[in-house]
Amino acid sequence: MDINPHHVFYLFKSMFEERYGCFNISNLKNQNSVDSNIATELFNMFISLCDESSEIIIEDSLDMNREGSEFVDNEDGNENNINELDDSLSQEFNSQMYEIEKYIKNKFTEAREKRLPVHDIDLRRWAIEEARRIELNKFKGSPSFIKNLKFRLRICSRKVTKLVTKNYSNEKVETEERKAAHLQFTNSKIPQYNLDFIMNSNQSGFSKEYFSTRTLSFRGEKDTLQSVKSISNTTHSYTIQPIITASGKLLSPMLICLQETTGNEFGPRVSLEIIKNTPNNLIVVCSKSGKLTKEHVKKWLAGCLIPQIKEKTLVLLDRWSGQTEDFLMASLSPEKADSVEVITIPPGTTGLCQPLDVYFFRQSKIFVRAIYNQMMLESTEQETHDRNFFLKIHSLVHNQLTADVFRPMLQYAWYKSGYHVADPGKFRNVNEVCFNKEQILDDCAICENSVFIKCAHCNKSLCLKDFLEKICWH
């Protein structure tokens, strides 16, 4: 009978978890007998090694506790007395070790609840403190003890990913309360609207040049480098502002704000170029910083939002001063203002209950990054920091994300944010639809080049060149 190594590992893992009380091994009945026997042998060898290590530690402790005690020599026929004393000392040692471990766990939990840094030397210091208190004076807290302790308590070294103040816990509670109040109020309004007219809009910054943070490379190299055309382009950005609906639609057109040294207006020559090259699913503005101002919001209202208001509409926006409810209502005609209700998402909660932030923007950036990475690999001659290139890729990405196959994904963004919309169930994201790993086996539908993307609208396989030339535009 063939041996399945993956099955053997699963059985070994299950036996390990069952020993520590976190798995019921009863569901392993009727398994492949050969795999089961191998897993059992491996597990028994593992336990044997662990037991031998424990016996060494216990024997060292017994030697410490025996100092100054009187023992009867084995030659006098009193082996039973010695064995009974060994058992007693072993139980005492286990009890002492339990107290030390319990003390460390409490100190560690207290420190991490306060978001304080903890290192191996701190664990050892706490262990020695408790050992001295219970008069286990020769206990040293060896590296192997700390290693085993960390394993038992599921402690490991982790990179700090976010800095917070001491008031973080209180702020987190307040944020959750604001989120709950917002969701309760908004969900009471949702039944009054058609899902096609419940909208969310927000801004997101995109770098002028993207790079991958990980790559395959050679083992042992001192520095892992990646080439970019301009380092400054990786920190300078431009802004997009899309609109999505609770029914799972990405609306067109979308606003994009480019970074220009001229400020809020393009120069005469560039203006003609923009008019000529701007796709019909984008509205283009500019600023010195690449970020939006109130003047840009007026253009967004006129070109993106107002054309979509065809019946009673609910709009969710964040608390940015440039798009306050009063400002928006003052910018709308009386007829449109009567049809629109604006709900402001509370500060600090946009990452929790704003659909665009919760899921959509991440997918957009995966798409854009994939284009940049492929262009670098293929060494294309196109200028990736040219304004026309930004317009082209965002027009293409926007066009792809309007496909019906992505509607469940956009509905999930609302559902995940806590709004009372139907659970879309299983859905496919950008990587699964457009950049599936199996698609490299296909041929480009236009030429013989390697496949880069599968069209989300028609499922046609395209190379990067044909994709950028808008061969598959829907």
3-state SS track over 132-168: HHCCCCCCCCCHHHHHHHHHHCCCCCCCCCCCCCCCH
Q: Is the dihedral of CA 443, 449, 450, 456 positive or negative?
A: negative
In this prediction, what percent of the chain has a pLDDT beyond 90?
Answer: 47
Angle, alpha carbons 258-262-267 (nearest 5°)? 90
Half-sphere exposure (CA, 13 Å, Cβ side) for 137?
Answer: 4
Helix (H) or strand (E) run with residue 188 in it: helix 168-189
Burial of 324 (0-12, 13-18, 19+ CB in 10 A): middle
pLDDT of residue 470: 81
User: Cα–Cα distance between 292 and 285 in angstroms, integer?
Assistant: 9
DSSP string covering 219-242: TT-S------S-SGGGT-EEEEE-
Angle, alpha carbons 140-142-148 (nearest 5°)? 130
Rounded mean pLDDT, 385-391: 83
pLDDT of residue 155: 94
Would the pLDDT of 177 be above 70?
yes
Task: Provide the pairing of β-strand 453-454 with 461-462.
Answer: antiparallel
Rounded mean pLDDT, 53-59: 45
User: Cα–Cα distance between 219 and 224 in angstroms, integer?
Assistant: 10
Listed in sequence order, the DSSP H helices in 67-119 are: 79-113
Token pair listed for 401? 């994300």
CA dihedral 250, 253, 254, 260 (to 10 degrees): 160
Question: Exposure string (b/e) for 222-252, b if CB count within 10 Å is 16 or more?
Answer: eeeeeeeeeeebeeebbbbbbbbbbbbbbbb
Would the pLDDT of 89 be above 70?
no
User: Cα–Cα distance between 389 and 230 in angstroms, integer?
Assistant: 15
For residue 95, name the pLDDT band (cuts at 50, 70, 90).
confident
User: Cα–Cα distance between 452 and 372 in angstroms, integer?
Assistant: 12
For residue 361, name the pLDDT band (cuts at 50, 70, 90).
very high
Contact 382, 468 (CB under 8 A): yes
Would the pLDDT of 127 be above 50?
yes
Would the pLDDT of 359 be above 80?
yes
User: Cα–Cα distance between 84 and 77 in angstroms, integer?
Assistant: 14
Rounded mean pLDDT, 124-136: 92
DSSP state of 9: H
Length of the chain: 474
Contact 456, 400 (CB under 8 A): yes
β-strand partners of 284: 256
Angle, alpha carbons 51-54-59 (nearest 5°)? 125
459 Cβ contact partners less than 8 Å away, ≥ 6 residues apart: none
Higher-pLDDT residue of 67 and 324 is: 324
User: Cα–Cα distance between 281 and 204 in angstroms, integer?
Assistant: 17
Task: Provide the pairing of β-strand 204-207 with 237-241.
Answer: antiparallel
Task: Provide the pairing of β-strand 243-245 with 340-344.
Answer: unpaired
pLDDT of residue 86: 55
- Model confidence pLDDT, tens digit, residues 369-380: 999 888 888 876
β-strand partners of 237: 207
Rounded mean pLDDT, 117-143: 92
For residue 383, name the pLDDT band (cuts at 50, 70, 90).
low
pLDDT of residue 1: 54
Q: Model's pTM, two decimal places? A: 0.72
SS3 257: strand
Strands across the sheet with 254-259, in order?
204-207, 237-241, 254-259, 282-287
Rounded mean pLDDT, 287-294: 90
Helix (H) or strand (E) run with residue 245 in it: strand 243-245
Rounded mean pLDDT, 73-91: 54
Q: What are phi and psi of 27, to 5 degrees?
A: -80, 5
